[in-house]
Amino acid sequence: MTLEAPKLLTMLRDMIMIREFEELAMKLRAAGKIYGVVHPCSGQEAVAVGVCACLTNSDRITSTHRGHGHCIAKGADIRRMMAELFGRVDGYCKGKGGSMHIADFAIGMLGANGVVGAGLPMAAGAALAAQLDGKGDVAVCFFGDGAVTEGEFHEALNISAVWKLPIVFVCENNLYASNNAIAVQHHITAVAPHAAGYGMPGVAVDGNDVLAVHQAASTAVARARAGQGPSLIECNTYRWYFHSMHDKPPPETRPADEVALWKSRDPIPRLSNDLMARGLLSPAALQQMRAQVERELQAAVTFADNSPFPGVADLLTDMYAPDAART
Ligand SMILES: Cc1ncc(C[n+]2csc(CCOP(=O)(O)OP(=O)(O)O)c2C)c(N)n1
Ligand SMILES: [Mg+2]
């Protein structure tokens, strides 16, 4: 699928926004402005952006504990995201969910999720709803290599294949689940071959090449929209930083040369250099794009800072079972 220049520039802008959002979130967490845990996805931006560039607002995605990139790529409002991280009433969950629970049904973002693997059956449910609606919408499930060891992975793939659901399973294989290297947890470390056991296409792509991700996702989404059933895409990538942070970044436990190698495969200059080589982007235009992202992020911080904290009276509202909780 040939991508037009405006679409390519939007994809570049979205990757830059995700990277800068994460860099800022880490600083604001260390400064005590953000509450809870932050799991940065820096380095993995090409997966969220390459996949979501194939989707519409009525297509639905499920995310993970590392969900900021998925939110931004699906079109979430960064002001409401920032307000949520700040624990304020104008946040997506009125300040009571934090980083790992951001959802926006209006754009088909069914939610980040702190439970590893939990998005898999939810996405299968969303795909069943899309199939019953019959409008050609699809569901996409983002999950990590760690989730592949969970029963839900196999259950979701199986039922999706049996019912030919319009779903794309997108594994972000970043070689680690928390601090555990992939070979510690998987007998076979490649994820794509699991697709064969469920009779669906399974491909592995360079997850730091947004165009390769987009190409694979386009094929899988088209297949799902055409009623031909599910696919699995393994995106090989790497997170630049620690698994998660509270008030300060934890020490790095991965080999320094491995981290350096993956940083040299940064997906953002890979796309911007490509666009410059094709004459679609100038250094000045890139600078302007970065400045605009910076302005939007500053506006998001101001928005979050000006929003009040929820009151005590709000403690039990919007809970799953408010009546039961009150008794
Ligand atoms: C069901 C469940 N088991 C364990 C955990 C603790 N936990 C949180 S993140 C994580 C690692 C997940 O690794 P992966 O799926 O590869 O995602 P990544 O962090 O690499 O993006 C674990 C074990 C959890 N949140 N939920
Ligand atoms: Mg992982």
Q: Which sequence spans correspond to the domains of the chain?
A: 5-326
Residue 240, both tokens: 């630049």
pLDDT at 316: 85
Ligand 1: nearest atom to the Cα of 148: 15
3-class DSSP assignment, residue 60: strand
- Please, are residues 44 and 1 in contact by the beta-carbon 8 Å criterion? no
Ligand 1: nearest atom to the Cα of 145: 16
Which ligand is located closest to the Cα atom of residue 178?
1
Contacts 24+ apart (CB under 8 A), 31-35: 32/247, 33/86, 33/305, 34/85, 34/86, 34/87, 34/99, 35/85, 35/86, 35/87, 35/98
- Please, are residues 67 and 103 in contact by the beta-carbon 8 Å criterion? no
CA of 144 to the centre of ligand 1 (A): 8
pLDDT at 58: 98
For ligand 1, whether the C-beta of 177 sits within 6 Å is: yes
- Beta-carbon contacts of 133 under 8 Å, excluding residues fewer than 6 positions away, are none
CA of 277 to the centre of ligand 1 (A): 39
Ligand 1: nearest atom to the Cα of 173: 16
Q: What are the E-state strand segments in 137-229?
A: 139-144, 167-173, 176-177, 180-181, 202-206
pLDDT at 324: 55
- Please, are residues 281 and 269 in contact by the beta-carbon 8 Å criterion? no
CA of 177 to the centre of ligand 1 (A): 6
pLDDT at 242: 96
User: Where would I find the H helices in 31-166?
Assistant: 45-52, 68-73, 78-85, 119-133, 151-162
Per-residue pLDDT tens listing for the chain (327 residues): 689 999 999 999 999 999 999 999 999 999 999 999 999 999 999 999 999 999 999 999 999 999 999 999 999 999 999 999 999 999 999 999 999 999 999 999 999 999 999 999 999 999 999 999 999 999 999 999 999 999 999 999 999 999 999 999 999 999 999 999 999 999 999 999 999 999 999 999 999 999 999 999 999 999 999 999 999 999 999 999 999 999 899 999 999 999 999 999 999 999 999 999 999 999 999 999 999 999 999 999 999 999 999 999 988 888 776 555 554
pLDDT at 68: 98
Q: Which residue among 116, 189, 191 is best mutated to probe the pocket of ligand 1, counting the most ligand atoms within 8 A of its Cβ?
A: 116
pTM value is 0.97
- Please, are residues 37 and 245 in contact by the beta-carbon 8 Å criterion? yes
CA of 289 to the centre of ligand 2 (A): 30
- Please, are residues 137 and 60 in contact by the beta-carbon 8 Å criterion? yes
**Helix or strand (DSSP H, E) at 62:** strand 60-62
Q: Whose CA is nearest to atom 21 of ligand 1?
A: 144
For ligand 1, whether the C-beta of 118 sits within 6 Å is: no
CA of 226 to the centre of ligand 2 (A): 31
3-class DSSP assignment, residue 248: coil
Residue 8, both tokens: 């390519």
Ligand 1: nearest atom to the Cα of 178: 11
- Please, are residues 113 and 141 in contact by the beta-carbon 8 Å criterion? no
End-to-end CA distance of the chain: 57
Nearest Cα neighbor of 47 from 140, 147, 157, 127 is: 140
Residue 148, both tokens: 């592949």
pLDDT at 300: 98
pLDDT at 2: 84
Superfamily of domain 5-326: Thiamin diphosphate (ThDP)-binding fold, Pyr/PP domains (3.40.50.970)
For ligand 1, whether the C-beta of 184 sits within 6 Å is: no
Distance in angstroms (rounded) separating the CA atoms of residues 281 and 277:
8
C-alpha separations of 225 from 20, 88, 130, 264 in Å: 33, 38, 10, 36
For ligand 1, whether the C-beta of 191 sits within 6 Å is: no
Task: Say how far residue 67 (Cα) sits from the centre of its chain.
Answer: 4
Q: What is the largest CA-CA distance in the chain?
A: 65
CA of 174 to the centre of ligand 1 (A): 12
- Beta-carbon contacts of 284 under 8 Å, excluding residues fewer than 6 positions away, are none
Distance in angstroms (rounded) separating the CA atoms of residues 265 and 245:
24
For ligand 1, whether the C-beta of 174 sits within 6 Å is: yes
